[in-house]
Amino acid sequence: MYAAKRNLADQYRRTAISARVAEADPHQLVAMLFEGATQRIRRAQACLDQGEIALKGKAIGEACAIIGHLNGSLDHEAGGQLATNLSSLYDYLIRRLTEANLHNDRAALSESLDLLGEVEAAWNSIPQAQRSAVPS
């Protein structure tokens, strides 16, 4: 019974996310990637605290994949130095998350969450009028 309820909850969550993606503009899509990555890092922290090492690794892997997508979406031609700096930050985050995974390093998870949170906050603070002009 529990597995069936969990499957229904997972299906509902996937449907809700699909609907959000379908209705999102490019700025919102990037915001959703930030949200997803920070959720995965928080999940990794909780899994580490609970001794769920395999689930911690899965959450970190998902966070790294999302950050990789953020990095891949950068427009280096339009974004110039900002895109280069963000790419370096994303590379650093993936390295720190990998270290966190290998060494069960809570400090590396916290650092990654803090850094990504700063970029996410800056992204979300871009005024609506300027969002279409901002390269992702």
- CATH classification at residue 38: 1.20.120.340
Looking at the domain assignment, is residue 19 inside a domain?
no
Decide if 36 contacts 28 (C-beta within 8 A): no
φ/ψ of 134, rounded to 5, equals: -90, 125
Distance CA 77, CA 79 (A): 6
Looking at the domain assignment, is residue 12 inside a domain?
no
Distance CA 86, CA 55 (A): 28
Looking at the domain assignment, is residue 1 inside a domain?
no
Predicted pLDDT of residue 32? 96
Looking at the domain assignment, is residue 18 inside a domain?
no
Decide if 108 contacts 97 (C-beta within 8 A): yes
Looking at the domain assignment, is residue 109 inside a domain?
yes
Q: What is the pTM of this model?
A: 0.82
Tally of structural domains, the chain: 1
Looking at the domain assignment, is residue 95 inside a domain?
yes
CB-based burial, 65-85: b 16+ in 10 Å, e otherwise: ebbeebbeebeeeebeeebee
Predicted pLDDT of residue 91? 98
Range of the domain at 94: 25-133
Looking at the domain assignment, is residue 75 inside a domain?
yes
Predicted pLDDT of residue 5? 61
Predicted pLDDT of residue 36? 97
Report residue 19 as tokens: 């609907």
Looking at the domain assignment, is residue 43 inside a domain?
yes
Decide if 45 contacts 110 (C-beta within 8 A): yes
Distance CA 80, CA 76 (A): 5
Per-residue pLDDT of the chain (136 residues; tens, 9 = 90+): 656 666 655 565 555 555 565 667 888 999 999 999 999 999 999 999 999 999 999 999 999 999 999 999 999 999 999 999 999 999 999 999 999 999 999 999 999 999 999 999 999 999 988 886 545 4
